[in-house]
Amino acid sequence: QVHLVESGGGLVQTGGSLRLSCAASGSIFSIWSMGWYRQAPGKQRELVAIITRGGSTNYADSVKGRFTISRDNAKNTWYLQMNSLKPEDTAVYYCNTGLRSLNWGQGTQVTVSS
């Protein structure tokens, strides 16, 4: 069973940057794609970035050009570099497969102040 742990969130001002990490433990060889999701208060959880095993990436329009998803295969860790943060990026950020097939971790809170 794969266990996901997100970290790296915090409080930043508008225009700031953060780097989130998602560490996966367990059997991950079957994971085809991994994504970063976020959920703001009162809103549904949404996919913001995804990376496939082959390295292809895709982003939600709202973060395109500002966020970058990457991975370190040796560390079983995925990253989300977030630049030019905006107040509307405030949310709890989670990682999971593209099919949302794993148990959700606790997430990491990102708060962007105006």
Residue 83: CB atoms within 10 A of its CB come to 14
CA dist., res. 70 & res. 3, Å (int): 19
Measured CA to CA, the distance from residue 108 to residue 27 in angstroms comes to 23
Query: Per-residue pLDDT tens for 20-41?
Result: 999 998 877 778 899 999 999 9
| Confidence at 74, pLDDT banded by 50, 70, 90 | confident
Strand partners, 24: 4
Q: Read off the pLDDT of each residue in 46-68 and give the average, rounded to a whole number.
A: 97
Confidence of residue 101 (pLDDT cuts 50, 70, 90): confident
